[in-house]
Amino acid sequence: MTAPTAHRTGADGPAGAPAAHPRTLGQRLDAATAGLSAPLVVVDVDALEANAADLVRRAGGTPVRVASKSVRVRHVLEQVLARPGFAGVMAYAPAEASWLVGHGVRDVLLGYPTVDTAAIDAVAADSVAARAVTFMVDDAVQADLLAAAARRHGRRLRVCLDVDASLRVGRGPLTVHLGVRRSPVRTAHDAAALTVAVRQRGSLDVRGVMFYEAQVAGLPDTSAAVRLVKAASVRELARRRADVVDAVATVLGHPLELVNSGGTGSLEVSAAAPAVTEVTAGSGLFVPTLFDGYRAFEARPAAYVGLDVVRVPGEGWATVFGGGYVASGPATPSRLPRPVWPTGLRLAPREGAGEVQTPLRVPARADLRVGDRVWFRHAKAGEVMERFAHVHLVRGEQVEATVPTYRGEGVCVG
């Protein structure tokens, strides 16, 4: 599909061409991408850089590890890592970790356990990767796989323990679990026992522990009740985190090198915890719609998807090509992409975001016509990049660079 060379700008510009001096979001993106085929994805570089600076400011001197799953563009990862205050990548798959090491990243923490024996073996076989990658475990079986690969290649592999950071309220069958279902390791006793088990396998070095408090970092401040839960969780985790760190350090006989915690929504409180050596953030770079309701930071959306109107099926309607970029998580409207420019557009409730085309309810002031471009935001940050081979980096009204996504570089790891 070839995009028109000019796009109308709805109610904010003259019909037939972009405004002479684009100022609004839609006008800027229209001007920058005029002549580029859609569907396409762009990153507003000014917003990205402001977001990166804000993450460092909020971390208050604690190093920020970049969550690659929320970016999935190697060029952007490299640009962010080059900024003061950022250190290392939290990857989501061992094959991705190997690939990043091959491109010069020297500190990769896997954020999730793996049973991918081929990918584990590839890391163990590479002396540089074996030093650069830290594997995540929460079960002795995972440690068995790592130790076997380490022994095959005469290496030592580095390990981090994933500790459950959810909040549990109540007792016995009346307990309420607030947070994600991650690790079975929760208490200081659990962590110490797993540390002993890992060390018994040989060829593995326990580097540290990780806590991801999703009920704080990934939950918008939508009500007083939510804020109350978050405050309670922060207090409970602070006590338990300290106990876990002490217990693991006692088994090892030395202080932990790595205590990772936090996420975009909780950088301040996580970074301030005495035991924490680093925090992780990724979504705060692109700021998708799921991060619009936070009080802790100013939302500066940086990633957008452009779709072109291909037909007008009736008054008050316009249909764009593409759009079925639904985020993972519960199947609710919050996971759907959101049209943001022109303003006032809405998805059709019975059709949502379509596999090949997406109908939109259009207010009269927008007056969309065939060939116009509509801009969407995704519900999650890096996930939409899996749908595109390239991303256009826009500064002001110009495309500064066009770079490949993970998919564009042939990296598809889950």
> Do the domain assignments include residue 388?
yes
Domain boundary among 226, 260, 285: 285
Mean pLDDT on 4-16: 36
Bigger pLDDT: 363 vs 215? 363
Question: Which single residue is written with the structure tokens 């991408």?
Answer: 33
pLDDT given for residue 227 in this prediction? 65
Q: What is the pTM of this model?
A: 0.89
> Do the domain assignments include residue 108?
yes
Same domain for 350 and 219, yes or no, is no
Same domain for 117 and 223, yes or no, is yes
Mean pLDDT on 76-84: 98
> Do the domain assignments include residue 163?
yes
> Do the domain assignments include residue 342?
yes
pLDDT at 15 over 90: no
Same domain for 38 and 101, yes or no, is no
Mean pLDDT on 246-265: 94
Q: Could you list the residue range(s) of the whole structural domain that residue 22 is in? A: 10-44+298-408
> pLDDT tens across 214-245, in order?
656 555 656 666 666 666 667 777 788 899 99
CATH no. for residue 362? 2.40.37.20
Same domain for 222 and 358, yes or no, is no
Same domain for 268 and 338, yes or no, is no
pLDDT given for residue 347 in this prediction? 97
> Do the domain assignments include residue 59?
no
Domain boundary among 228, 258, 285: 285
pLDDT given for residue 223 in this prediction? 62
Contact 113, 131 (CB under 8 A): no
pLDDT at 151 over 90: yes
pLDDT at 271 over 50: yes
Same domain for 203 and 132, yes or no, is yes
Bigger pLDDT: 4 vs 188? 188
pLDDT at 169 over 90: no
pLDDT at 2 over 50: no
Domain boundary among 244, 262, 285: 285
CATH no. for residue 123? 3.20.20.10
- What's the domain count of the chain? 2
Most confident of 149-158, 273-282, 321-330: 149-158
Same domain for 160 and 280, yes or no, is yes
Same domain for 302 and 280, yes or no, is no
Mean pLDDT on 294-316: 92
Percent of the chain with pLDDT over 90: 74
pLDDT given for residue 166 in this prediction? 74
Same domain for 248 and 362, yes or no, is no
